[in-house]
């Protein structure tokens, strides 16, 4: 061992002696000086190192590069600016707009404090410009619950189809266009693709707002006309025309807030949240309680979950404030006050009314509608998934296949009216059924006759016809009759007042073909299909 140490010391001495006697590599020094002055990537000398002599040109010709970490997130973002600046009247206009609204800037920047560290981390990992961390200020004011008039959703404002293209789940239980981590990943994937497509960040941003097809066609038009094809040269809608100037204005304010009289709130250069995997289905309110955070703060970090229960089988972790993640794990393991989830998912076995589904689920009909956003005048289609109370008898959590593919589908509950039509010459069950697009078996059942029966001319045939939208408005308003005119051979028919759904007809008994099927009067007017 002593021999090895002695040999190592001799080798080190010879190396240092060599360094001291070897002249400096002037080309490497000049390259390093140039790199230092331009803030480019560092250049490492290839020759042996020699000590610098105080007072020499090499001693005074270099600047010291600080290795201090960024003071806060704003400093970190400034250090990563890479996009070319846009200088135009529209930029000045947007600078003025933001600078005269300090309250708006304060709300936006405070809201962004939960998310911006994660976004900057992802941008730096990919080598992308940190200006893009400011894009959600333009898209949604950093509101993950934002929804545009065109149905774009989340802080990155994904349309449904684009979200699907970038693997953002949109199902009964969650909408990943709102998810902080998933939507950021998708947005940066999309922006990278657009930059690869156009080779210019300003054009990539225009395509993010307007669509790559529109930008591509605008470039082609300018090329055909012999015109420049930069962002400022293309003909585009006003929204896209202002899009990059808005981002440039926010960039300028972040770069020099004092110039615009803006006070940016301190955002620590530290992760705001961390992820926690779920091992059991868990109520949203209980999750917030176990983490010791306000329900509003929990939802702000987990905006994709739009039901009151979080499903472990979805494979999506929850986000919690950095220090509260450990609190949640400790409290979750110690929890012994009953089941973790008071809600579960139920797959409807057959098409049924909301009232029937509520009875099966043990819920009030109004509560079932509210919990599952069920519109009026609709039947729940077979195979649909409903959120219903979880009883003590339910031991298993929601299965992965339901968590991934659960959906809720409807079909209109057709409201019909008992109508009497006069049979014409040679009318039969079949001809009446064909005339009104009905089933011959139903017509025969309603009139207590055989399917091949032929009616005498003038016979009053009972049929149940759908209520038209115009006539439906009169239901419950005091109108006594709806007039239906047969297409041929029949006279004017008068209809009973009360509307009856086809499901109700199917459940009613065929006691008498000439008696109206009774139902309560004064119901709500029928509405057009949603």
Tell me whether residue 139 is one of the annotated catalytic residues.
Answer: yes
Q: Is the distance from CB of 158 to CB of 183 less than 8 angstroms?
A: yes
Q: Write the DSSP assignment of 97-127 as a string of letters.
A: HHHT-HHHHHHHHHHHTTTHHHHHHHHHHHT
Beta bridge pairs of residue 320: 274
Residue 321's φ and ψ, nearest 5 degrees, are: -50, 145
- Half-sphere exposure of residue 319, counting CA atoms within 13 Å on the CB side? 20
DSSP assignment of 9-56 equals HHHHHHHHHHHHHSPP-HHHHHHHHHHHHHT-S-----S---PPPTTS
- Closest of 448, 429, 426 to residue 438, by C-alpha: 429
Select from 139, 329, 362, 351 the least CA-distant residue to 239: 139
Q: What's the Cα-to-Cα distance from 12 to each of 6, 7, 8, 356, 451, rounded to whole Å?
A: 10, 9, 6, 87, 109
**Which tokens in the block code for residue 333?**
């393991």
Beta strands in 220-353 (DSSP E): 273-276, 282-283, 309-310, 318-321, 343-347
DSSP of 174-205: BBTTS-HHHHHHHHHHHHHHHHHHHS-HHHHH
* Residue 467 dihedral angles phi and psi, to the nearest 5°: -80, 125
Q: Which of 131, 139, 296, 473 is catalytic?
A: 139
Measured CA to CA, the distance from residue 131 to residue 86 in angstroms comes to: 13
DSSP-derived secondary structure for 64-83: PPP-PPPSSHHHHHHHT--S
Whether 345 and 316 have beta carbons less than 8 Å apart is answered as no
Structure tokens at 34: 């140039």
Give the torsion sign (CA, 193, 195, 201, 207): negative
Residues with catalytic function: 139
């Amino acid at each position: 061992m002593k021999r090895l140490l002695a040999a190592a010391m001799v080798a080190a001495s010879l190396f240092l002696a060599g360094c001291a006697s070897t002249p400096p590599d002037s080309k490497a020094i000049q390259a390093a000086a140039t790199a230092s002055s331009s803030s480019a990537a560092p250049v490492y000398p290839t020759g042996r190192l020699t000590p610098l002599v105080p007072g020499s040109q090499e001693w005074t010709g270099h600047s010291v590069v600080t290795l201090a970490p960024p003071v806060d997130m704003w400093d970190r973002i400034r250090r990563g600016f890479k996009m070319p600046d846009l200088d135009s009247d529209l930029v000045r206009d947007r600078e003025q707009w933001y600078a005269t609204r300090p309250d708006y800037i304060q709300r936006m920047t405070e809201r962004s404090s939960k998310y911006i560290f994660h976004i900057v981390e992802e941008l730096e990992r990919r080598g992308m410009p940190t200006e893009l961390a400011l894009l959600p200020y333009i898209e949604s004011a950093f509101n993950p619950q934002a929804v545009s008039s065109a149905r774009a959703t989340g802080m990155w404002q994904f349309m449904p189809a684009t979200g699907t293209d970038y693997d953002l789940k949109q199902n009964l239980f969650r909408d990943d266009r709102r998810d902080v981590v998933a939507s950021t990943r998708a947005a940066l994937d999309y922006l990278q693709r657009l930059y690869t497509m156009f080779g210019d960040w300003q054009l990539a941003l225009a395509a993010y707002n307007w669509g790559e097809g529109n930008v591509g066609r605008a470039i082609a038009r300018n090329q055909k006309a012999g015109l420049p094809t930069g962002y400022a040269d293309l003909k585009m809608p006003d929204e896209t025309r202002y899009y990059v100037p808005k981002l440039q204005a926010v960039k300028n304010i972040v770069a020099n807030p004092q110039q615009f009289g803006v006070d940016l709130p301190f955002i620590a250069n530290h992760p705001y949240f961390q992820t926690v995997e779920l091992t059991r289905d868990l109520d949203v309110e209980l999750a917030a309680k176990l983490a010791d955070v306000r329900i509003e703060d929990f939802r702000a970090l987990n905006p994709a979950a739009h039901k009151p229960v979080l499903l472990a089988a979805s494979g999506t972790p929850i986000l919690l404030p950095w220090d509260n993640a450990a609190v949640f794990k400790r409290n979750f393991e110690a929890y012994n006050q009953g089941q973790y989830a008071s809600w579960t998912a139920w797959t409807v076995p057959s098409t049924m009314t909301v009232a029937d589904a509520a009875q099966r689920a043990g819920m009030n009909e109004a509560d079932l509608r509210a919990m599952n956003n069920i519109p009026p005048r609709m039947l729940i289609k077979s195979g649909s998934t409903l959120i219903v109370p979880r009883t003590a008898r339910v031991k298993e959590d929601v299965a992965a296949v339901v968590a991934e593919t659960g959906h809720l589908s409807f079909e209109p509950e057709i409201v019909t009216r008992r109508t009497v039509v006069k049979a014409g010459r040679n009318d039969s069950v079949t001809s009446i059924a064909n005339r009104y697009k009905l089933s011959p078996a139903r017509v025969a059942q309603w009139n207590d006759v055989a399917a091949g029966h032929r009616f005498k001319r003038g016979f009053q045939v009972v049929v149940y016809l759908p209520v038209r939208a115009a006539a439906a408005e009169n239901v419950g308003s005091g109108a006594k009759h709806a007039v239906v005119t047969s297409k041929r051979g029949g006279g004017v028919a008068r209809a009973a007042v009360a509307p009856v759904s086809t499901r109700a007809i199917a459940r009613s008994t065929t006691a008498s073909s000439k008696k109206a099927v009774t139902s309560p009067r004064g119901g709500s007017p029928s509405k057009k299909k949603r």
